[in-house]
């Protein structure tokens, strides 16, 4: 079964950039990589999705190297409200594989 690995936690301060890297072995040719954000007692919420190279939206950037064996979510200038758990997701034959989640704590 495909495995998705990401760091357990990361600490940061307001205004800093946070980068979270997810490793995904055996990623399939048709797999996209998606990142979700989850606050306590809520369902996850979509942040960004990509296939290769770099994708940017109003919230984050996603960097995926040519071999696609990893992806890096970049949160620019974080604020206290960005404190949450961040998950990366890749799909594989209907067996979706979420990472275990990275708890990002932003301090003032």
- List of residues contacting another protein (CB under 8 A): 28, 30-32, 34, 36, 41-46, 49, 51, 87, 90-101
Q: How far is the CB of 15 from another protein (least distance, A)?
A: 28
Q: How many CB atoms lie within 10 A of CB 15?
A: 11
Q: Which helix (H) or strand (E) holds 4?
A: strand 4-5
Residue identified by tokens 């301060």 is 13
Taking the C-alpha atoms of residue 20 and residue 86, their distance in angstroms, rounded to an integer, is 9
Q: Which is nearer to another protein, 69 or 77 (CB)?
A: 69
Q: How far is the CB of 69 from another protein (least distance, A)?
A: 16
Task: Identify the CA nearest to 20 among candidates 95, 79, 108, 105.
Answer: 105
Q: Which is nearer to another protein, 3 or 77 (CB)?
A: 3
Q: How far is the CB of 53 from another protein (least distance, A)?
A: 16
Q: How far is the CB of 51 from another protein (least distance, A)?
A: 8
Task: Identify the CA nearest to 83 among candidates 11, 22, 7, 34.
Answer: 11
Q: Which is nearer to another protein, 81 or 95 (CB)?
A: 95
Q: Which is nearer to another protein, 67 or 108 (CB)?
A: 67
């Amino acid at each position: 079964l495909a495995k998705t690995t990401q760091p357990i936690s990361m600490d940061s301060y307001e205004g800093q950039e946070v980068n979270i890297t997810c490793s995904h072995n055996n990623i399939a040719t048709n797999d996209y990589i998606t990142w979700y954000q989850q606050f306590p007692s809520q369902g996850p919420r979509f942040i960004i999705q990509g296939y290769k190279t770099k994708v940017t939206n109003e919230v984050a950037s996603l960097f995926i190297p040519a071999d696609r064996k990893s992806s890096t979510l970049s949160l620019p200038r974080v604020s206290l409200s960005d404190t949450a758990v961040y998950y990366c997701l890749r799909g594989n034959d209907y067996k979706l594989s979420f990472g275990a989640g990275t708890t990002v704590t932003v301090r003032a």
